[in-house]
Amino acid sequence: MADTAHAAHVGAHLETHSETSTGLDSRKLAIWTFIGSECLFFASLIGTYLVYRGRSLVGPFPHEEWVSPAGVHFEPILEIKLVTVGTALLLFSSLFVVLALNGAQRGRRGQLLTWLGMTILCGMFFIGMQVYEFTHFVHKGLTIKTNLFGASFFTLTGFHGTHVTIGVIWLITVFILALRRKLPPEKALNLEIAALYWHFVDVVWVVIFPVVYLMK
Amino acid sequence: MATTVTGDLRTQAAHAHAEPTGLWSWITTVDHKRIGILYGASAFMFFLIGGLEALLLRIQLGRPDNTFLSPDAYNQLFTMHGTTMIFLAVMPLSAMFFNFFIPLLIGARDVAFPRLNAFSYWVFILGGLFLNASFLFHAAPNAGWFGYANLTSTQYSPGLNIDFWMIGLQILGIASLAAAVNFFVTVLNLRAPGMKLMRMPMFVWMSFITQALLLLAFPVITVALILLMFDRFFGTHFYVPSAGGDPILWQHLFWIFGHPEVYILILPAFGIVSEVLPVFSRKPLFGYAAMVFSGAFIAFLGFGVWSHHMFSTGMGPIADTVFSLSTMLIAIPTGVKIFNWIGTIWGGSIQLKTPMYFALGFIAMFIMGGLSGVMHASPPADLQQTDTYFIVAHFHYVLFGGSIFALTSGAYYWWPKMFGRMLDEKIGKIHFWLMLIGFNLTFFPMHFAGLLGMPRRVYTYSAETGLTWLNQLETVGALVLFLAIAAFLYNILKAWAGPRNAPADPWNGATLEWAIPSPPQPFNFAEIPVVHSRDPLWELKRERGGPLPEPARVSGAGIHMPNPSFWPALTACGVAAMLIGVMLLPKLGPWGIIAGGALLLFGVFNWAFEPA
């Protein structure tokens, strides 16, 4: 049996978890568990998109031209160049957040703030790009109601965009903490957990981008 | 170290451990035991509501061409009965045991995230109340618990009924996912020293596997419901055939969730009887490792059998064959479990106490449900049986004869630990016999009614079908079940009125929870135990050569427990308000969602920055 000192010690770490059965911090394990669950969420959305690919009864279509019964001509609707730039920035942001985390762990405040700021800017650009893309589509006659492509496209990329938005809010919160000198190296885990989530959101986009934009 | 604790900390600890009372203390509690009791009380209330709904259905079917219920009321009642029993009764009753007993069984002081645990409960209760609030609007869900598209489309279900159903389930899903993350991490990370994975009590193992199922299955129904939500509120056509949508997509998504869901309902039950049988046979669990791996195998296969719910959609011979074979394969690990339970009691010194009665009843009833399950794993047989009362008989044998019998066994087994009071043995046995007889009287004739062609979900039948006497038997059975539950209620009330008489270890238990006082103190273990074997308490008693002395209640000074918090409950309100705001879009515009979202953010930030 452990002595009282040990017992008190274990109790003290109920919420901070420096000592666990696996040696992993519980919060880190929790975010991995959550990410595992989220995989199924996006798998279902991507699956739905794939099932309905090419099954829209009316246009506009993603990769093909379409002439409506009224004789209106619709170009293929996807703007691959713009989204490629957004994709690249989102991927770079994964690198940036690693550099920021490295800064946090080593107590290099300048490095932390610079790269965390860059990560947030990339995330914001991505959201901006998506807002532009969505409004652009609506102007070109594609809404969530138009056809199965519109429905599955807006749902899939919209939920991804929501995840990016939550990630940006989370990273801004950590940024403000760092700015107020409340993110010392021993608390770098607060950033690491947000970063794990951020990487996951990026990885999901790595699947969505080819499936939606590149696959014809 | 206790002597070096500052006076300030000591008063703090003494304050924290004074077992606060009153409504506010329950709203802000983060104690896994209190949250467990909240889950149990709420789930039992919903269980009674669901049972009452079933009783009304049985009264309606008690004679041919009955007009006791209108067809519409009948649809609402069978939908709410199924939804309630699955999401609001069996799942949260399991959650009660997860909450109360996982930390105790692994030798921990609480779960990994106590506030998240409170959050799960509050989201659950709000979702459950919301779902039942539909009755106030005469708009209870009415498309079955599986809500098949396109019956749920605005075209065929224009009212609020389906809206209540999908928003309610969405809220409940969030509660389940949050709880699953919490317990998954708790089991992995908060085990006492020496409690290796392969030393964990079987209930913890089965609960752990259940959390994995929850984590992987619930996101799928979340998506299915989101698509339905978009169809109904935003005019998409995911399930609308006229626009190219495919209603079968709903069935796939629903059953990819729905089949693992039935294992979510039964695996905790497997865990409970695997605790009860060894204790009342005075023998360690037979084939421990085989039990662990068969449980994991059942869960794994559970994700590869969903289409056996869809044979009648005409998937073609290849899909039918694959899903038929994978379904039959599940009989193997399940059979392993059954034989191991029998192996456990084989040659044991059997103590015929009430928990043991229910555990033995579970084995017998579950075998019957399992056998009829293998029958409709075969597509030709299934095409005859699907949508008949044969199916209703089957899943009640596994869910009632299985889950409910096991959960009741667990209730009698762990009641003394939870409340410090023994339930009466004599009433317990009356409860058992009433339940066993009532259960079989209700559901056994359904096999025959089903094979004779009586369809499910139809509000009446004509006398010419010759089904009257079978249905009358079933209705009498339902009344006997009503008496069984009344006996249980009486037992609970009698114990409640009685003295706190339960010793720490009334059954000669093998696991850690019996080493501490009944009911446990807020911090559970004054000293975190060190575990050397699978049955740590039996080992300890063997070493001492007799029972352990009654553990004393200690002050617990110096043990830091998490502070109560209001933010989980408030955040839960935000989550519920946001989702209900989606339903209120036509009335409030986006403002309901915005208000809910703001409340959610406010709660989350206060939660995140609350000093622990």
pLDDT of residue B450: 96
SS3 B527: coil
Residue to substitute from A18, A44, A134, A166, interface B, most B β-carbons within 10 A: A44
pLDDT of residue B558: 85
Residues of chain A with pLDDT under 70: 1-18
B561 interfaces chain A, CB cutoff of 8 Å:
yes
Measured CA to CA, the distance from residue B232 to residue B55 in angstroms comes to 32
| Span between the terminal Cα atoms of chain A, in Å | 65
- Whether pLDDT at B9 is above 50: no
Check: CB of residue B256 under 8 Å from CB of residue B245. Answer: no
Nearest chain B alpha carbon to A11: B560
Residue to substitute from B174, B185, B198, interface A, most A β-carbons within 10 A: B185
Q: What are the structure tokens assigned to A55, written together?
A: 């099954």
Q: What are the structure tokens assigned to A102, written together?
A: 């490295």
Of chain B, the percentage scoring pLDDT greater than 70 comes to 97
Give B 511-550 residues with CB within 8 A of chain A.
Answer: 523, 525-530
One-letter amino acid identity for B399? L
Confidence of residue B557 (pLDDT cuts 50, 70, 90): confident
pLDDT of residue A12: 40
- What pLDDT digit, counting tens, does each position of B64-92 carry? 999 999 999 999 999 999 999 999 999 99
CA-to-CA separations, B8 to B12, B14, B560, in angstroms, rounded: 6, 10, 12
Confidence of residue B119 (pLDDT cuts 50, 70, 90): very high
pLDDT of residue B21: 82
CB contact under 8 A, B527 and A41: no
pLDDT of residue A3: 38
Check: CB of residue B100 under 8 Å from CB of residue B41. Answer: no
Q: Is B22 or B460 the better-scoring residue by pLDDT?
A: B460
A-chain residues near B246 (CB < 8 A): 51-52
Mean pLDDT (chain B) is 94
CA distance A210 to chain B (A): 21
B245 interfaces chain A, CB cutoff of 8 Å:
yes
Which CATH number applies to B41-553?
1.20.210.10
- Whether pLDDT at B314 is above 80: yes
A-chain residues near B249 (CB < 8 A): 48, 51
**Residue B317 CB contacts under 8 Å (≥ 6 apart), including other chains:** none
Which element (helix H / strand E) includes A74? strand A73-74
| Span between the terminal Cα atoms of chain B, in Å | 22
Q: Is B377 or B13 the better-scoring residue by pLDDT?
A: B377
pLDDT of residue B17: 53
pLDDT of residue A16: 41
**Orientation of helix B114-133 relative to helix B567-583, angle to 10°:** 30
Confidence of residue B610 (pLDDT cuts 50, 70, 90): confident
Partners of A74 in beta bridges: A66
Given B215, B244, B612, which is nearest A56 (Cβ)? Answer: B244
What are the φ/ψ torsions at residue B437 (nearest 5 degrees)? -70, -50
Sign of CA dihedral B442, B445, B450, B455: negative
Q: What is the mean pLDDT of residues B411-428?
A: 97
pLDDT of residue B290: 97
Which element (helix H / strand E) includes B257? helix B247-281
Using CB atoms within 10 Å of the CB of residue A147, give its burial: 0 to 12 exposed, 13 to 18 middle, 19+ buried: buried
- Token pair 């006996």 is found at B487
Check: CB of residue B225 under 8 Å from CB of residue B166. Answer: yes
Given A7, A22, A151, which is nearest B528 (Cβ)? Answer: A7
What are the φ/ψ torsions at residue B347 (nearest 5 degrees)? 70, 10
Neighbours of A203 (CB within 10 A): 15
B-chain residues near A34 (CB < 8 A): 181
Nearest chain A alpha carbon to B3: A5
Check: CB of residue A84 under 8 Å from CB of residue A125. Answer: no
Q: Which of A14-23, B164-173, B308-317 is the least confident region?
A: A14-23
Nearest chain B alpha carbon to A28: B185
**Residue B386 CB contacts under 8 Å (≥ 6 apart), including other chains:** B311, B312, B376
- The H-assigned helical ranges of B310-467 are 317-329, 331-345, 354-375, 379-385, 389-398, 405-419, 425-451
- Whether pLDDT at B211 is above 60: yes
CB contact under 8 A, A55 and B193: no
Q: What is the mean pLDDT of residues B507-518?
A: 95
Confidence of residue B304 (pLDDT cuts 50, 70, 90): very high
Query: Among B346, B341, B266, which Cα is nearest to B298's?
Result: B266
CA distance A132 to chain B (A): 21
- ipTM for the whole complex: 0.93
Q: What is the mean pLDDT of residues B357-364?
A: 98
- Whether pLDDT at B8 is above 50: no
- Token pair 């009648």 is found at B312
Sign of CA dihedral A26, B556, B517, B495: negative
CB contact under 8 A, A15 and B253: no
Domain borders along chain A are 26-214
- Whether pLDDT at B12 is above 80: no
CB contact under 8 A, B1 and A147: no
Query: Among A142, A151, A34, which Cα is nearest to B249's?
Result: A151
Phi-psi region of B316 (alpha: psi -120 to 50; beta: other; left: phi over 0): left
Given B113, B216, B236, which is nearest A37 (Cβ)? Answer: B216
Q: What is the mean pLDDT of residues B597-608?
A: 94
CB contact under 8 A, B219 and A151: no
Query: Among B145, B218, B220, which Cα is nearest to B180's?
Result: B218
pLDDT of residue B556: 84
B559 interfaces chain A, CB cutoff of 8 Å:
yes
pLDDT of residue B221: 97
Check: CB of residue B264 under 8 Å from CB of residue B256. Answer: no
**Orientation of helix A80-106 relative to helix A109-139, angle to 10°:** 160
Measured CA to CA, the distance from residue B51 to residue B41 in angstroms comes to 15
B597 interfaces chain A, CB cutoff of 8 Å:
no
| Domain A26-214 CATH class label | mainly alpha
Which element (helix H / strand E) includes A81? helix A80-106
- What pLDDT digit, counting tens, does each position of B384-410 carry? 999 999 999 999 999 999 999 999 999
Q: What is the mean pLDDT of residues B512-530?
A: 94
Q: What angle do CA B108, B111, B113 make, to 5 degrees?
A: 140
Query: Among A31, A201, A203, A198, which Cα is nearest to A99's?
Result: A198
Confidence of residue B612 (pLDDT cuts 50, 70, 90): low
- Token pair 């991490």 is found at B185
pLDDT of residue B18: 61
CB contact under 8 A, A45 and B523: no
Confidence of residue B15 (pLDDT cuts 50, 70, 90): very low
- What pLDDT digit, counting tens, does each position of B241-280 carry? 999 999 999 999 999 999 999 999 999 999 999 999 999 9
CB contact under 8 A, A37 and B177: yes
Sign of CA dihedral B288, B294, B297, B298: negative
Partners of A67 in beta bridges: A73
